[in-house]
Chain A
């Protein structure tokens, strides 16, 4: 009797211990499988969400060219189908990388999103009209469930370096794809050569020289301008081959401590204010003046620049730093993409330069980063598409992660 009881107790203890051990063992692959399924679902969601963003223009369809609040989030160009994005809707996205810039000339504490890429080309858009990240999450119906970051990067990086600054001006153009040199590509270039007048009554102006070269096996081409001496210039290069188009630029001026900065005031009326850089973030003294001359150019089918009349008396004038001093505003003439070119000159000096502002994010191949920060997230799924923005080839990359409920392995 005692032996049977002992047998019973020992077997029960061993059985319970074995069950507990095996529950622990089995739970490991089950938990891993759940995590796998979660990640798989996240990956599927990433692909779906990316198509949702890229294949619908949003509501209303022209929200990128208006002041209205978007009721639906989408970036497709309403005039096209498939993966062609609106260069203007992208301008209304609140940038998640650039610092905000304060410009108080009109009223205090007015901030602008800064998508500038160094000196010479800038894009400042009103933060009050920007679609911010949290609003886009709500419009996509994923607030509190997912976080995302959308990155749009030009397929072709066109970089220009100055081999020799003058007499002759010698420039090297490098075109590189995301995975390969852009060998044998045609480079259509536009040299915007600025003339700084000697008298105060005249305004700085420019002339354009166009040309075509071809890149070598390393994707590099050189251009020389023997007749250019002591140049103040901007240089824009379009690299294209078999439907893949990239654009790059370079500017050189004799005055870089004082310069003009175009600021988009209103997307709907396409009004642009020309600011003195001393007025940005109240970084300089008041009372410094710059003469300027503003023009708007569009890129034609053969990659030359064609000027459109601004039709505004403010296209030439003087901008002076300091609150209370006048600031010019220019309405841009068209809803098509283009480049605002502003030549400037310090008053009473022969120092000056040229700055550009793309109207439409693709005109100077500005990259876009919009959304949250994926760093530190548990698991981030990504997906990519090739898209066309204003004729320029971009790669759209969406990074997506779970928010709220986290499934960890």
Chain B
């Protein structure tokens, strides 16, 4: 190989990229306001097909993050809470504790709430996440059966103090469901579909039961009678069997 050819080839590639940076990439995008193009434009095309200048002027410009991007967990509350849970501000968390148990670094602390009568209720009255320990694994959101805890997209969290301000309490963690719907559109759609399906199933079940009851008021009575008879027979059988066993033991002893 001729001496110096490697250098020439190397400079060639530099030149190509230099030219590209003026022809394709961000500089060639129509956006002059400093905003980045829509996420679909970034993920759907540019970086894959082109070379060129790809520098985003962070923090003025921010690259969009995909929906599944996860940083820290947050808690979801419904703006229009269920009637029975209205007194707890529509917080979806039921303090079942799965997130606290599955959390690999054990950074979630939950206190189960109590109603006015002092009895434990399916709600968390205190909820802490130690963000300095959280490893952003997303297990809490993945295994929450109530879609109550989700992973946030917010990643600019620096603070001047590294103890108290890193322990997020319930008020800091709560976000409205609209926020969740905005950053996780696909996940929220799935949630709605599931709720809808559940509602449908429940309504259908009730309807069938009502229909069955209306259909055959007498039959229901008959079934009840049959059941009572069967139970009486069962109890009788058991008593007889027990007596026989006891007798057998006595004989053996």
A binds B: no
Q: Which residues of B contact A (CB under 8 A)?
A: none
